[in-house]
């Protein structure tokens, strides 16, 4: 699909994600044992044949830069095109009144990269959030976009996803959007996942218009305001989708991965999710370990008991440790006799001998990166 | 583009003693240790030792190996100058010939080597499991001003009878090389790796090529003629883990060695063994699974019993299936109620429900020579209730 360009919004964060976004944006939160959240939309784009992708970031993006690197792991380290990282251009601090801590909306973020957008060599652009977890057939969605002749195609979900959407669309029988709502109180509306396809020309016009009127919010100022003037069409996706908005949310949505049907959908063999390669050896289970219902990445040494856990790369669990309903991020060290339940350990956390911590499904404990308990 | 030392990796052999495992692939492309292929070990050692130019000599069934090596990126060998090069036999104006032997393979690529104008050439095999810093060996080679340095490991007197043995003087200078001696005079076994001073090696390669009686082999011809020629040859004593995996039994045993993590540490970040990664999600250990003393990797779904085994990526072990002391290669499926013991199940093989593969050595107490590892070749289906006994090999569907 040489005619589509990808733009990912990777600047957003959410205060309710607390410890998880202390050192990173929502897009670079570790998810699913070996991924960062941004891997999903990035892989969706690559799997659809998109070769040029720009990633807009604003602050707290060191972790994201480290993860994405040259884009090599997504086959995006290219001579022409490939991955383009777009941190704030001339971050002038207090000198400019637009220099607030975060972009106020997608239109503002896009306006900040106007010169980049002018140089896009493809005719169409797909806009998406970096913190959306989904496996989308973007190639098919693009074909539909061309077929329906829509000005903007919005990807929606067939069902309520269990997280708050930016917009809810009411459509006619052919999928054409008749009404754009900002909350989903009505039953017969489709929650929009924030993935939009439109032409580069239209995007340019919308940005110029928004700048003139000081519009910043794509949902309100484009979808809602211009619904009557533009042909906006919904594409309904049936699969799994999530977007962690709080620690409890993140926990619940991670545990979904223990269901085989969710894994089959999200890690579809037809459209694999790629991530940064760490060259770990296999995971070793010792004779003293007891393991049930766990999703485990490579490079771990498991000697303790694990039940309902998501375990990232390079984790060590010593003998006699009992972990139930836990998420252990990269290089976590669990010493002997530790007893954990409903706990999320961030990267490089050590829980020392015999410590016991128990959260609850409604309030899982999150331990900050690098902490020693 | 001068390089001090470049490596030439001999990857053209058929590996006929691995039988059905190398019907369609060259030996160096055989999967090993859950995540790797045999060639990952020498390639990673090169990369970690700072050797950035590697010629890989291929001949037998090269497609999968070539695709695997690709640009060399997984081993950090995609370089602007040097990097990894696949070197198949090629046509020259005086005709074309296959590689006649290991020495002839290097001889045919003299011009490739000369492009880099190296002082030293490291000659490697593609079927050894070990971690070695070649830079340290090269340091010794330079310090002792040797013309050839051969790494050796200490073996038992019994093992020595089956290996190439170096008899040395008090300065570790090589006096004599004996292939499989009945009465070994020393217990230093050659690891089948050599560092040569290139000017010297080139001279001997040219002379060897001119000798119509030569088998053009390093062990049989080059090393003995260099000894006879009075060149300075030294052993390099290596004490880490090293295994030749040229046979089914050796391959199985070396895989089992990976389980303990004590023989060779594959998780040391300071000396990683790199591999081309499959793109698969983390593995899942289900409700009904029992996993003990085993290696499991990405893409696996385990619902049955896995004991003392190595599972490669994307292996499925269904509920009620048993896998014990076995190696299950990428994409294989072990269905409900199947039993796989002391076996190697190759890529994408399917073991249908109730099938039985292999048997424990304990069942052969009275005739231990009848026991051996069972093998199911890649893509082969063993139908419901069918059996592949100990030491047997299934290279076609059994339905």
The count of CB pairs under 8 A between chains A and B is 100
Q: Are B187 and B155 in contact (CB under 8 A)?
A: yes
Asked if A311 lies within 8 A of B294 by C-beta distance, the reply is no
Q: Are B233 and B184 in contact (CB under 8 A)?
A: no
Pairing assessment for the beta strands B120-125 and B5-10 based on DSSP bridges: parallel
Angle at B241 between CA B237 and CA B243, to 5 degrees: 100
Residue A65 touches chain B, beta carbons under 8 Å: no
Residue A98 confidence (pLDDT) above 60:
no
Asked if A292 lies within 8 A of B272 by C-beta distance, the reply is no
CB neighbour class for B145 (10 Å; exposed up to 12, middle 13-18, buried from 19): exposed
Closest CA to A282 of A327, A245, A237, A313: A313
Q: Kindly list the residues from chain B whose CB atom is less than 8 angstroms away from the CB atom of residue A316.
A: none
The secondary structure element, H or E, covering residue B168 is strand B164-168
Asked if A284 lies within 8 A of B259 by C-beta distance, the reply is yes
Instruction: Output the six-digit token pair for B353.
Output: 């429900």
Residue A132 confidence (pLDDT) above 70:
yes
Q: Are B245 and B127 in contact (CB under 8 A)?
A: yes
Q: What is the pTM of this model?
A: 0.91
Q: Kindly list the residues from chain A whose CB atom is less than 8 angstroms away from the CB atom of residue B261.
A: 284, 301
Residue A301 touches chain B, beta carbons under 8 Å: yes
What whole-number distance in Å separates Cα of residue B243 and Cα of residue B31?
15
Residue A124 confidence (pLDDT) above 90:
yes
Residue B229 touches chain A, beta carbons under 8 Å: no
Q: A40-49, A262-271, B10-19, B64-73: which range is least confident on average? A: B10-19
- Predicted confidence at residue A90, as pLDDT, reads 54
What whole-number distance in Å separates Cα of residue B90 and Cα of residue B97?
7
- Predicted confidence at residue B94, as pLDDT, reads 82
Instruction: Output the six-digit token pair for B155.
Output: 């073996």
Q: Are A339 and A353 in contact (CB under 8 A)?
A: no
Mean pLDDT on A292-296:
96
- Predicted confidence at residue A101, as pLDDT, reads 59
The secondary structure element, H or E, covering residue B178 is strand B174-179
- Partner residue opposite A298 with nearest CB, options B285, B297, B301: B297
Residue A264 confidence (pLDDT) above 70:
yes
Q: Which residues 6-45 of chain B have a CB within 8 Å of chain A?
A: 33-35
Asked if A283 lies within 8 A of B301 by C-beta distance, the reply is no
- Predicted confidence at residue A319, as pLDDT, reads 95
Residue A286 touches chain B, beta carbons under 8 Å: yes
For residue range A140-195, list pLDDT tens digits in order.
Answer: 999 999 999 999 999 999 988 878 888 999 999 888 999 999 887 777 899 999 99
Q: Kindly list the residues from chain B whose CB atom is less than 8 angstroms away from the CB atom of residue A273.
A: 279, 281
- Please tell me the total number of residues recorded for chain B in this structure: 399
Distance from the B318 Cα atom to the nearest Cα atom in chain A, whole angstroms:
13
The secondary structure element, H or E, covering residue A190 is strand A190-199
Query: pLDDT band for position A49 (50/70/90)?
Result: very high
Q: Count the alpha carbons within 13 Å of A174 in the hemisphere toward its beta carbon.
A: 9
- Partner residue opposite A267 with nearest CB, options B35, B281, B296: B281
Residue A94 confidence (pLDDT) above 70:
no
For residue range A302-339, list pLDDT tens digits in order.
Answer: 999 999 999 999 999 999 999 999 999 999 999 999 99
Residue A92 confidence (pLDDT) above 70:
no
Beta bridge partners of B129: B243
Distance from the A35 Cα atom to the nearest Cα atom in chain B, whole angstroms:
9
Beta bridge partners of A326: A343
Q: Count the alpha carbons within 13 Å of A197 in the hemisphere toward its beta carbon.
A: 28
Beta bridge partners of B348: none
Q: Which residues 259-318 of chain B have a CB within 8 Å of chain A?
A: 259, 261, 266-267, 272-275, 277, 279-287, 289, 291-298, 301, 310-311
What tens-digit pLDDT sequence spans chain B (399 residues)?
A: 799 999 999 998 888 889 899 988 999 999 999 999 999 999 999 999 999 999 999 998 899 999 999 999 999 999 989 999 999 998 888 888 899 999 999 999 999 999 999 999 999 999 999 999 999 999 999 999 999 999 999 999 999 998 999 999 999 999 999 988 999 999 999 999 999 999 999 999 999 999 999 999 999 999 999 999 999 999 999 999 999 998 999 999 999 999 987 888 888 888 999 999 999 999 999 999 999 999 999 999 999 999 999 999 999 999 999 999 999 999 999 999 999 999 999 999 999 999 999 999 999 888 888 899 999 999 999 999 999 999 999 999 998
Q: Are B150 and B190 in contact (CB under 8 A)?
A: yes
Instruction: Output the six-digit token pair for A220.
Output: 């309100």
Identify the residue with better confidence: A290 or B265.
A290
Residue A121 confidence (pLDDT) above 50:
yes
DSSP summary character for residue A16: G
Domains and CATH numbers, chain A: 4-266 (3.90.550.10), 284-367 (2.160.10.10)
Q: Rounding to the nearest 10 degrees, give the CA dihedral for residues B295, B353, B388, B305.
A: 30
Beta strands, E only, A25-134: 30-31, 35-36, 52-56, 82-86, 124-129, 133-134
> Does the ipTM exceed 0.85?
yes
């Amino acid at each position: 699909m040489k005619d589509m360009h990808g733009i990912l919004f990777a600047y957003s964060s959410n205060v309710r994600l607390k410890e998880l976004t202390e050192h990173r944006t929502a897009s670079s939160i570790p998810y699913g044992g070996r991924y960062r959240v941004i891997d999903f939309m990035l892989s969706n784009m690559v799997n659809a044949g998109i070769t040029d992708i720009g990633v807009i970031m604003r602050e707290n993006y060191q972790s994201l830069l480290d993860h994405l690197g040259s884009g090599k792991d997504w086959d995006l380290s290219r001579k022409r095109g490939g991955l383009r990282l777009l941190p704030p251009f001339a971050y002038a601090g207090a000198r400019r009144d637009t220099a607030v801590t975060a972009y106020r909306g997608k239109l503002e973020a896009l306006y900040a990269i106007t010169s980049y957008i002018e140089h896009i060599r493809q005719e169409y652009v797909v806009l998406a959030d970096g913190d959306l977890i989904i496996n989308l057939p973007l190639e098919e969605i693009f074909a539909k976009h061309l077929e329906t002749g829509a000005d903007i195609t919005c990807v929606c979900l067939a069902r309520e996803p269990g997280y708050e959407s930016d917009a809810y669309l009411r459509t006619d029988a052919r999928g054409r959007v008749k009404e754009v709502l900002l909350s989903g109180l009505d039953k017969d509306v489709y929650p929009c996942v924030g993935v939009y396809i439109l032409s580069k020309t239209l995007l340019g016009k919308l940005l110029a218009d928004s700048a003139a009127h000081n519009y910043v919010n794509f949902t309100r100022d484009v979808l809602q305001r211009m619904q009557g003037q533009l042909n906006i069409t919904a594409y309904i996706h049936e699969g799994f989708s999530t977007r962690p908005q709080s620690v409890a949310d993140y926990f619940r949505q991670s545990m979904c991965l223990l269901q085989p049907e969710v894994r089959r959908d999200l890690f579809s063999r037809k459209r694999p999710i790629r991530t940064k390669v760490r060259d770990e050896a296999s995971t070793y289970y010792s004779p003293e370990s007891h393991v049930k219902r766990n999703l485990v990445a490579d490079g771990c040494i498991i000697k303790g008991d694990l039940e309902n856990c998501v375990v990232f790369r390079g984790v060590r669990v010593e003998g006699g440790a009992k972990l139930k309903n836990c998420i252990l991020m990269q290089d976590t060290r669990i010493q002997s006799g530790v007893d954990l339940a409903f706990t999320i350990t961030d990267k490089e956390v050590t829980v020392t001998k015999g410590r016991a911590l128990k959260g609850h499904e409604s309030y899982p404990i999150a331990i900050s990166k690098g902490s020693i308990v | 583009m001068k390089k001090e030392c470049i490596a030439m990796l001999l990857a053209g052999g058929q590996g006929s003693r691995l039988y059905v495992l190398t019907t369609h692939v060259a030996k160096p492309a055989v999967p090993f240790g859950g995540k790797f292929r045999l060639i990952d070990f020498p390639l990673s050692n090169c990369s970690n030792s700072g050797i950035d130019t590697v010629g890989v000599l291929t001949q037998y069934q090269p497609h999968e190996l070539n695709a695997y090596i690709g640009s060399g990126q997984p081993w950090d060998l995609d370089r602007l100058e040097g990097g990894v090069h696949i070197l198949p036999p090629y046509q020259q104006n005086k005709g074309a010939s296959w590689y006649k032997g290991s020495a002839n393979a290097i001889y045919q690529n003299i011009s490739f080597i000369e492009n880099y104008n190296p002082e030293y050439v490291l000659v490697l095999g593609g079927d050894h499991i070990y971690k070695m810093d070649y830079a340290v060996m090269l340091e010794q080679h330079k310090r002792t001003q040797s013309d050839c340095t051969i790494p050796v490991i200490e073996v038992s007197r019994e093992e020595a009878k089956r290996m190439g043995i170096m008899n040395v003087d008090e300065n570790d200078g090589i006096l004599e090389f004996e292939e499989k001696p009945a009465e070994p005079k020393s217990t230093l076994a050659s690891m089948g790796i050599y560092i040569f001073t290139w000017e010297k090696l080139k001279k001997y390669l040219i002379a060897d090529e001119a000798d119509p009686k030569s088998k053009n082999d390093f062990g049989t011809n080059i090393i003995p003629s260099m000894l006879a020629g009075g060149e300075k040859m030294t052993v390099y004593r290596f004490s880490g883990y090293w295994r030749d995996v040229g046979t089914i039994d050796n391959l199985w045993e070396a895989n089992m060695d990976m389980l303990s993590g004590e023989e060779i540490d594959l998780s040391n970040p300071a000396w990683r063994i790199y591999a081309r990664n499959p793109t698969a999600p983390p593995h899942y250990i289900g409700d009904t699974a029992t996993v003990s003393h085993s290696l499991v990797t990405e893409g696996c779904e385990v619902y049955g019993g896995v004991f003392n085994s190595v599972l490669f990526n994307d292996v499925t072990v269904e509920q009620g299936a048993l896998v014990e002391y076995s190696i299950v290669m990428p994409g294989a499926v072990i269905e409900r109620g199947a039993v796989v013991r002391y076996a190697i199940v190759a890529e994408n093989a399917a073991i249908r429900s109730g099938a039985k593969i292999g048997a424990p050595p304990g069942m052969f107490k009275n005739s231990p020579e009848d026991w051996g590892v069972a093998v199911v070749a890649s893509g082969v289906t063993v139908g419901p209730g069918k059996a592949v006994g100990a030491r047997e090999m299934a290279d076609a569907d059994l339905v």
